[in-house]
Amino acid sequence: MIRLAKPYITETTIEKVAEVLRSGNLVQGQYVREFEAALEKYLGVEHAIVVSSGTAALHLSLLATGIGPGDEVIVPAFTFPATVNVVEIVGAIPVLVDITLEDYCIDVTKIEEVITPKTKAIIPVHEFGQSADIAPILNVARKYKLKIIEDAACALGTEYNNKKAGTFGDLGCFSFHPRKAITTGEGGAIVTESHELAEKIRSLRNHGISSTNGKIDFEYAGLNYRITDFQAILGSSQLSDMDYLISQRMETAKIYDDSLRGIDWIDTPERIDGRKHVYQTYHVMVDEGIDRDKLIESLKTNGVETNIGAYALHMIGYYQNKYDYTDVSYIQTKNSYLHGLALPLGQHISQKNGKLISNTLIKTVAKYYG
């Protein structure tokens, strides 16, 4: 079975993790700070704070910016539910906006029409490793004095006009889940240029602890969103290979592009000027006449693991039951949810495997729908 994703963990990295485990110093310590420093250098930011997950990063970002009950937060309708779940958790109201099929990110032309006096923030998602069209989003945020919390969970290394995704807004959030280019098992990070926000987040991730003149106090009702030292050294070891890992993903994406080009029942990802796509996911759209879910099962039978791309938030149980969302407002989101397909991507996909996966997809569709 060719797996959808497989973590890139070298024997050298495993040995480094083992050394930390043998030391007995497991909780947040020197390797956490070293990982943070490496992220600050790679992203070109003042502050990076690593935490226990990408979801924790989003949650802490909302808490740090004071967003809470009654506030409205604009979120793309097509993403993983974690993006919107944290809005619910802090008691705020998620306002969904449709996406474009060009980049599967929020439709920037539809943001301004949903802004109200209660709107406090926008969470643009850099979906699948493709940058959202961030410049117009920043313009709207400045106009209405809104916070920008970038969900860059899939976008470490992604660029918009030669600047790294996650570094444009007030806060940027990353994930190190095993399906990401680098992984700490579970883990995430928040980046910011604001010293005030950084200090607040560092406190909130560690039970709300503050220290003045060596005296410990609890300034906030915080959480335990710390990451361990052995996770941190796993992350920093992989981060040193980040450029190589991205180049490998881009090479596999090109194999898919070349193999699937010109086929009328499939749309491959677009390459957009000024944006560097790092392909956390190679997401295609299949024709409406093809049963995507049956196609996933058929490909699995033929030794290729695939999956859906992301979720239409207005169509999943909790949000469908709580809010009065309608399909007509999220046409492209629904289309992407029902017809999107994620192909295997990562270090485990050789050039030979890339071509094999493409041919298996073509032959499977021809067999059942040709």
**Helix-strand-coil split of the chain, %, nearest 5:** 40, 20, 40
Active site residue 180: yes
Q: What are the structure tokens assigned to 255, written together?
A: 């194999």
Angle at 283 between CA 291 and CA 154, to 5 degrees: 135
Handedness of CA 128, 131, 137, 138 (dihedral sign): positive
Furthest C-alpha separation in the chain: 74
Q: 302: number of CA atoms within 13 Å, CB side?
A: 18
Q: What are the structure tokens assigned to 99, written together?
A: 């996406």
- Of 113, 68, 112, nearest to 86 by C-alpha is 68
The answer to whether 53 and 235 have CB atoms below 8 angstroms apart is no
Query: Which DSSP symbol is given to 155?
Result: -
- Of 354, 347, 346, 349, nearest to 268 by C-alpha is 354
Q: What are the structure tokens assigned to 321, written together?
A: 């039951």
Distance CA(276)–CA(265), nearest Å, equals 26
The answer to whether 327 and 314 have CB atoms below 8 angstroms apart is yes
Out of 147, 180, 200, 334, pick the active-site residue. Answer: 180
**Active-site residues: which are they?**
180
